[in-house]
Structure 1
Amino acid sequence: MPLQLHHVVVDTHDLPSLAAFWSEVLHWPVLSEREREIVIGPSPEAPVGMCFMPVEDEKVVKNRLHLDLTTEGADRDAEIERILALGARRIDVGQTGQESWDVLADPEGNEFCVVRPKTTLIS
């Protein structure tokens, strides 16, 4: 059987807070919680989830890997405002303003994008 993606692992300074932020953003429940990790996902049977693990290192550069989120069936602007109210912030990584995405950062500075729904990108 080939390898499959299991978790996206996110290093964090504040394990419970960052896991709670992403749980709220994605509407995913906490699936497991241990001393040094919290896992969230759409369900225990889902093929992929997010795992949060504590680190002491400071984040100093732009992420080499980031998440792209989309809003199928939802109001994209309202979702961005909801995420901002949860503690995200808008960031500038060199956008021109003409992109089909908005760049945000979670409370610990990890960049992610909210992109237009696929149906909007295709047309």
Structure 2
Amino acid sequence: MAYDFQVTVDCTNPHDLADWWAETLGWDVEPQDEGFIKEMVAKGFATDAETTHHRGKLVWRTGAAIRHPENDRRLLFQFDEAAKTVKNRWHVDVRVGEDKRDAERDKLVERGATFLWEASQGPHKWFTMSDPEGNEFCVT
């Protein structure tokens, strides 16, 4: 039996990181229902402290998600007050193709990523980078 899953990234600023990754992957930021959030606060199921404003909209403070535009693939960015301190145990590979790798690296650096190193195995080459919160990923 196959299972569906999502990848969750702990981070200190989930809404900004969701925006960054949505632009990087060409995915969509999942909308949050302001009416529902207000209703949950009004009914006492949540507090104002559990909400924040992002890009002029009321959102849950603790998370933001992005979705692939054509299927149900989803990344969730979840608030954690602790900043990242050690290397990821697993990471995302962004596959752009050999002919676009250098240009994509440069665009990502301009947008706040950090180039860490270039590596290869046989004929395969990739760049290891980190997103604005230090989470490693590769551009292949």
Fold match by TM threshold 0.5 = yes
**Could you say what the CA RMSD is over the residues aligned between the two structures, in angstroms?**
2.1
Structure 2 unmatched ranges of 5 or more: 33-58
Displacement of 1:72: 4.3
Higher strand share: 2
Give 1:54's aligned residue: 79
Name the structure 1 match of 2:138: 113
Q: Aligned runs of 1:60-99 on 2, under 5 Å?
A: 60-72=85-97, 75-92=100-117, 97-99=119-121
Which protein shows a greater Rg?
Answer: 2
Question: 2:107 aligns to what SS in structure 1?
Answer: helix
How far apart, in 2, do the equivalents of 1:66 and 1:12 lie?
14
Amino acid at match of 1:41: R
Residue 3 (structure 1) aligns with: 3
CA distance in 2, matches of 1:102, 1:73: 11
- Name 2:67's counterpart in structure 1: 41
Identity over aligned residues, as a percent? 35
SS of 2:86's partner is coil
Give the count of matched residue pairs. Answer: 110
**Structure 1 Cα separation of the partners of residues 26 and 73 of structure 2:** 14
What TM-score does the superposition give when structure 2 sets the normalisation length? 0.69
More deviation in 13-22 or 106-115? Answer: 13-22
Unaligned runs of at least 5 residues, structure 1:
116-123
Runs of 4+ that moved beyond 2 A: none
- TM-score, with normalisation over the residues of structure 1? 0.78
